Structure 1
Amino acid sequence: MIPIKIRAFVAIALLCCVQPSRANDGLSIIYTYAKDSFGAILEEFSQQEGIPVRFEFKEQNDLKSSMMGMMEQNTTPDAIIMPADHMGLHSFIKYSEVNPADFPAKVPARIWASSYSDGKSYGVPLIQGNHLMLFYNKKWVQEPAADWEAMFAQRAALQAKGVAPIAWSFDEMYWFLPFLGAYGGWPLNAGKVQLNTPEMAAALDFYKTLRQRELPYPGCSYQCAVDLFKSGAVAYTINGDWIGKEFHAALGEDLGVSAIPTADGRKMVPTFSSHVLSFPNQSLTGSKRAQLLKLANYLQSTAVQKHFWLAMGAIPVEQAAFEHAQKNARGYLKKTIELMAETKPLPADKEMTFIWDAMGKGFLRHREGALDGQAAAKYMQQLAERHIRNAQRMVTPATANP
């Protein structure tokens, strides 16, 4: 979950970080995707272009707090490969604004739109997807549940085989968001927080019924759900396209993919986003601009984009590579690409940093019965707005009265 106290970000001690680079010592890069595979690609870029590259993998949960600390210590890397929603901290991390015209690769406007935060692009799209889907084990399920009532109907037969129905990161708001979308809600509209809505209350109430009816595996974290599904202990899980290759390695041809079940006849609205190459502390305007543009264009090239697909199962953003993946996809990968059409772009505006936290806190109060749906939605709205006001005061200190 995204922390909200910005001062607390700065206070967090960094376990390790990339040291600042001089103009003649190559590029320093932090990346958060496919540790081994992406590291090999960065090494190949270094050898091909003759540009020394130092790179470090970081878990996404650690990235925001680490970057705030690096800004304080002036130790930011030259580039970061990260989920686009991290760009919401552009006021603090000082990401360079990106002009799509500087990048000749054929990337659809819909994908470039995922790199925009508050009306400006702060990242070069590299991989698209990050959308949630229903994974199922064909050993236990012949026909995946199209709605939640169908899954309830399957529960008794599954339990008789010693298999639980489903596990997912139930308490994480990224997993709740498709349910909010199903009821017609969305957390942000034209830069305005919209959490205090009847749609939010209805989504919270439906989501809670799944827990009350003991459908999701109790108290399960992200890794718990992954492990249970890979071991065959649960028939279903909800997760993103990034985990598909790992699931296929565990289940082989028993792996199935489908849309998340409908709620009261309402289709889920998963989000999609991209992983982007971003340039903290205005690095793209500095002495390494030419090297950074080479890196970006290399990573967006058709050959490398195809390699993303072949090596990692990552959905390319470059049009020719995407069409190649679409044409050649089989099994779970084919369905993964098809489900992209049913997604909605995840907002990357700065307000989302605070919305995630506010949603999480309101959700927990609703889950434990302290607030009903309507009151929880109102609490989320108030909390998000308060944090946004506090952050604005930090970015633009009040001018002293004359």
Structure 2
Amino acid sequence: MEKKNKEIVLWHEFDGPGDTSIEVLEGICKLYTERFDVQVTPQVMNITELTARLNRIKDTHQGPHLAMVPADMSSYVENGLYSEVPGGLLDDVLTEGTLLTMQMDGVQYGIPVLRGNHLVLYYNPEIFTSAPTTWDVFEEEAERLSAQGIVPIGADLQQGYWFIPFLTAFGGWPVQNGKPNIITAEMKQALQFIRDKMDQGVLVSLDGSTGLLEQFIDGKIGAIICGEWIYNHLDKHMNHRLAVCQLPVIEGRQSLSMTSSIGLIYPNHSLTSEEREDILSFTRFMLSDECQTMWTLDVQRIPAQEGTLKRLTDIAAPNKKMILSLLDQARPMPTFPFMIHVWEALNAGLIELPLSNPEQALKKIEQSLQVSWGAFKS
């Protein structure tokens, strides 16, 4: 009887044309398959589909052995039927602070592979001769740039994560005292600000993985708020036309991004399956110096492993050094179980904003939160 080859399946969301991280992930899976005679099969999908599929596992009992996800998706532990990570698995290579990003109520449900995941301001120095670190610059330059067919600044403002820097600039934060905190005066101010700037032609909202990058690379947008994960793609396409600086100050207050990690979780109780040892072996391989260096050198991501990160910092180009330094200005992403409902509500309001007005957008946020958060609490 022919022996059946062992296989472990990994879901991930490195799906946009600009997200070159897929190259390294697929390379690592191939390398592991060749060396250990265990087939690791990566399956790519967009973040919306990944979220939905993980949250259906409780009902379907259909899931992968692993998924590589942003750290806040550790909070889907109940719907995703996540396995708890064995104690001390990688304490020797990851700091307590890094591990903390994928804990829920003190329990480790994921292993960080990359860190950062924060937003920065990319700008074209041929359009802005010095770093546009305050919003005033975009408004002052709007008329001149508009005459050349250039929008001063762009972001993906139908995604809640991109909205956070605007909310923080008005003193808001989506969590307070362990509860959602998004129906606030600060939220309304941030929504009003975005709508005003879009109406004035100072700010444009485009899809963060396609149109936003394409128009920035083509010189049709002067600066974009986008994630550190896209740096490799922009660096390849823009070279000397790319510079990086802090997020802009808005009305005297510094915008702040969230930061988190990206790591492996174990859905559908996969660590109780017969593939347990292969899954844990692959996890350790992902945190090896060899693989962490691949993420660093091949696609310019920020490794979770401390030693690899230090070497990266020592040799990094000026733009990359700036990206690393901006981690100090970011705030850790909340990982409460209710955050899925916060993100859904924010996204619903942001989709509504260009169609109506800030009041209606805030109402949409409130309605969405009441429905999903109410169901969650009950």
Identity of aligned residues (%): 24
- Pairing partner for 1:383 from 361, 368, 375: 368
Conserved in 2, the CA contact under 8 Å of 1:355 and 1:384? yes
What's the counterpart of residue 357 of structure 1?
344
The answer for the alignment partner of 1:60 in structure 2 is 47
Once residues 354 and 96 of structure 2 are traced to their aligned partners in structure 1, the CA distance between those partners, rounded to angstroms, is: 39
For residue 55 of structure 1, give the secondary structure of its aligned residue in structure 2: strand
CA distance in 1, matches of 2:12, 2:199: 39
Match of 1:90 among 77, 86, 89: 77
Distance apart, 1:49 and its partner CA: 2.6
Structure 1 partner of 2:206: 220
Task: Quote the residue 2:312 is aligned against.
Answer: 325
Q: Is the 8 A contact 1:118 1:191 kept in 2?
A: no
Q: Which amino acid aligns with 1:92?
A: N
Query: Which has the larger displacement, 273-282 or 31-40?
Result: 31-40
User: Aligned pair in 2 of structure 1 residues 57, 370: CA closer, same or farther (>3 Å)?
Assistant: closer
1:255 aligned partner: 242
Match of 1:280 in 2: 267
The residue that corresponds to 1:11 in the other structure is none
1:51 counterpart (38, 47, 54) = 38
In structure 1, give the amino acid aligned to 2:9: S
Amino acid across the alignment from 2:196 = T
Distance 2:365 2:220 in 1: 35
**Letter matched to residue 285 of structure 1:** T
SS at match of 2:336: coil
CA RMSD in angstroms comes to 2.4
How many Å apart are 1:191 and its aligned residue? 2.9
Shift of the 23–270 alpha-carbon distance from structure 1 to 2, 3 Å rule, reads farther
Q: TM-score, normalised by structure 1?
A: 0.85
Query: What displacement does 1:220 show?
Result: 2.7
Residue of 330, 340, 362 corresponding to 1:343: 330
Q: Normalising by structure 2, what TM-score?
A: 0.90
Would the aligned equivalents of 2:57 and 2:79 in 1 still touch at CA under 8 Å? no
Structure 1 residue 31 and structure 2 residue 18: aligned?
no
Contact 1:133 1:259 in 2 (8 A): yes
Shift of 1:60: 2.0
Deviations 1:294-349 (A, max 9, x none): 11111112221122100111101111001011111103211111111111111222
Work out the CA distance in 2 between the residues paired with 1:96 and 1:136. Answer: 42
Distance (whole Å) between structure 2 residues aligned to residue 68 and residue 275 of structure 1: 18
Please tell me whether the aligned partners of residues 272 and 344 of structure 1 are also in contact (alpha carbons under 8 angstroms): yes
Farther off after superposition, 65-74 or 381-390: 65-74
Aligned-pair distance for 1:198?
2.7
The Cα of 1:113 is off from its aligned counterpart by 1.9
* CA deviation after TM superposition for structure 1 residue 100, in Å: 5.1
1:2-401 aligned at under 5 Å gives the runs: 25-33=6-14, 34-69=21-56, 72-99=59-86, 101-217=88-204, 220-222=206-208, 223-365=210-352, 367-370=354-357, 372=359, 377=362, 380-381=365-366, 383-393=368-378
Secondary structure in structure 2 of the residue aligned to 1:81: strand
* 1:186, distance to aligned residue in structure 2 (A): 1.2
Structure 2 unaligned regions, length at least 5: 15-20
Q: Secondary structure at the match of 1:128?
A: strand
Q: What's the offset of the Cα at 1:226?
A: 1.0
Q: Which runs of 5+ in 1 are unaligned?
A: 1-21, 394-402
- State whether residues 84 and 276 of structure 1, in contact with CA within 8 Å, keep that contact through their aligned partners in structure 2: yes
Change (3 A) 1:205 1:163: closer
